[in-house]
Structure 1
Amino acid sequence: MMCRRDLRMIMLYESKLNHSAAEAARNLTLAFGSKSPSKRTLRCWLAMFASGDFDLKEKAGRGRRVSLYDEALRAAVESKPDNTTRVLAADFDVHHTTVVKPLASISLVKKIQKWTPHHLTDDWRSTRYTICSNLLSEKTSHF
């Protein structure tokens, strides 16, 4: 797996060859497949290189950067598993979507607070049959 700086170096190389964003995207997709940057990303980087800025370092993004530590979030969920994402968000003082994404990344999903059968056991099958039979007999007896 290539790091971002290596990919930026390759984008600089494509820029030095005077390739368009579409050509660079085709070349990178051939070489790296789904791991290659998008055309829009390539367009931005090629425009930056064309303006004379050859700095390959990561620049700060727009907006407020908020991150939650997976361990802290996991500990909060394990201590009180019935909390909703909005309650967790209030505890961490972040927006609830900031909680949802890390929960999904650490493979935690919200389930019903009780066990539900995934397959029909013989007892459940007979119970359902009895209920259906009783309901049908009541319905047909009135006609």
Structure 2
Amino acid sequence: MRRAMFLYRLPPMPFDFVMEERNRRDVRGWFKRFQSGNFNVKDAPRSGRPITEKVDEIMEIIEQDRHISSHEIGKQLNIDHKTVLNHLQKAGYKKKLDVWVPHDLTVKNLMDRFSICESLLKRNDIEPFLKRLIIGDEKWITYDNNVRKRSWTKRNEVPQTVTKPKLTPRKVMLSVWWDYKGIVHYELLPSGQTIDSNLYCQQLERLRQAIEKTRPELINRKGVVFHHDNARPHVSIATRQKLRELGWEVLMHPPYSPDLAPSDYHLFRSLQNSLNGTKLASREACENHLSQFFAQKSHKFYSDGIMVLPQRWQKVVEQNGTYLIS
């Protein structure tokens, strides 16, 4: 006769009983340690990788070289690169792509940017002049503005294609002048033509006529404060003579500073966004696009681009002349 087998499920041990048993084991362990003559109360080292005590060294290495990898830091300090990553993440570090800047600024460049911005800030505080400011600049407008886009593609499907821009794209140069109210005057040069001193002086004369029609208060009472960058046609002897004839005050602009030129950081950036992915079949199509773009922008758009200048000057001063990343 087979003996019946029964499985009995024991009831769980009471919590108090379990804790009491653990305490007894701890007491027995300490008693054995002291009995053997070991009176060290610190826990013995455990097996496995120790917790790193080199956080300060990791931060020092990062401050010296922001491009170094976690693997390289790990090799230098003889710790796992994952440990390095954990400490960097806790300290708020995250690897990002470097931002392109237009020029490697020298000490003199930095000092020029600092001193000019500080001077403009003080002057604007004493006598606000931004509503008298006329901004001038040039930009190449390309006919084909292909851009790569991300598209949904199945795992085994061929990606979407886009034609790469040609090395010598069809393009025309735009010259534009604007203020806090909007566009004052602009010209689209003949295909392939660029700016020289002679042409620039002719443009300034046509700009004067446009200002007399659309901004007569600047001609009659307040006077124009004129801003352009340091391109060669802008700083030539002929151009400086023409500006003296016009009686316009030329605003100081530090070299290699597109981050302080409203056309570069504001107007042209928005214009390029409107052109991305656009194909202009002809010069007429280009003119229509520009006309619509300028007309559709509100008064606030133009005002924002110029009235933000004091904030940008202040940031340059606070950063000791370094570029604004925006």
TM-score, normalisation: structure 2: 0.24
Whichever of the two has the greater Rg, that structure is 2
- Structure with the largest fraction of helix: 1
TM-score, normalisation: structure 1: 0.49
